[in-house]
Amino acid sequence: MLKINKLLLAILLLLITATFFLIYNIYSLRESKKDLENLKTTLEERKKENQELTQKVEEIKNQKLEEEKEVKKENFRVVKAFVTAYNTTVAQTDNDPCNAKFGYICGRDDVVSCPREIPPNTKVKILGEIYECMDWTALKYNGRYDISFDKDVLGAIKFGKKYLSITIYE
């Protein structure tokens, strides 16, 4: 009888242990399911953001293509001049580096300061890229083109000073 009681007790302990193990696994599965649902939601949000960003990139590309088509239709002339680079920082401009003579330029990668005889907002092509004349160079640098590298100081230093052909679209 004592052996049967010990055997029953051992079986009971095994059943209790198995029950706790089963409850733990069920709880873990519920938590895993919640985590999976959260991951699915996050993935869907990221996919939507990615689609929106892809659409914006396509819109910008199409806009640039349209601008290039417009520019190609117009009259143009080619000049040779020195081209330098600058940054939209107080140290290199004035106390309001984001506001150029003809508009706001921070965050843009298509801005150039042009010689004073070039009308505002004129498009120019330098090294295959189209830029918009948003400012005039200082009098002492008149005749030069100065490309804005926004906050990329190292990029501007690397660009340096070059004597290049510039296409001016009039």
**Residue 137's CB: how many other CB atoms inside 10 A?**
20
Looking at residue 22, its pLDDT comes to 79
- pLDDT tens, residue by residue, 16-36: 887 878 788 887 878 877 877
134, HSE (Cβ side, Cα atoms, 13 Å)? 20
pTM: 0.59
Contacts of 146 (CB under 8 A, 6+ apart): 83, 84, 85, 86, 112, 113, 137
pLDDT of 73 above 60: no
Looking at residue 65, its pLDDT comes to 75
Does CATH number 3.40.50.300 belong to domain 75-169? Answer: no
What percentage of the chain carries pLDDT values higher than 70? 94
pLDDT of 86 above 90: yes
